[in-house]
Structure 1
Amino acid sequence: MRLIDAADFIALLRFESHGSLADLVSSAAELYFLPGTVNFGIGGNYSLDWDTEPEITLDLELKPDGVTIYAQLALGKDSAGLEINHIAFQKPSNDPDENTAFLVKSLNAAKFTKSYPTALAG
């Protein structure tokens, strides 16, 4: 996401070009997660003033199997962060530890991993 200029993000947010933002988020996320796992949410925001560095906030929805995570990605000059606002399990357990274990398992299963060919024995 840092390959995209902050001014471009601001323009896309200001002119509500949600389709373009969704494409950028999907393209960036597919380097790390399976397609469809990370999606642009319902909007975003930016902070830009004469005496500060720009900061971009994008709403995200992470959708590994069985769970939806609503979060906000904050991108600043020297920092980035992800704030989780809500986690919705399709089949929640009464045990929070089981929910956490399921979340970890589901996110790990959604990771994009490259497989490299192994040398065949001759």
Structure 2
Amino acid sequence: MVAYYNQRQIKTEMKALIQDYLKSCSNCEELPADLVDLIKHNFLAKYVSYNSELHSIEIGVEVSDKPSSLISYPQIKVYQFPIDDKKNKWLKKSLKTSKTDLAFYGRLLNKRSTIYKNADVVVM
């Protein structure tokens, strides 16, 4: 089965999905797996975790000026974003617009659908 999406539809539905993800984890101790996948994809993060003390999401991104062959351990910069932020602009602004990114978002949207759960995604 194939699911067809256009760019506008994906952007609109992803903003709603982001709100749902963050709302669902406002009282949780663990982030939903799909939210972790989304953040890793958008930020090219090495890790994503929930900080219960600060009630925030920590994102570890590899930053290195030198080729990886010269460094024995990667340098990770940690960013923290609040879950309670009403607009959650930090995550919405990270949405990308290339065809492969939109197809990834389409697959995330399909996971919430009962009809298209395992469908291939075509972006028009």
Please, what TM-score do these two structures have when normalized by structure 1?
0.37
Which one has the largest radius of gyration?
1
Higher helix share: 2
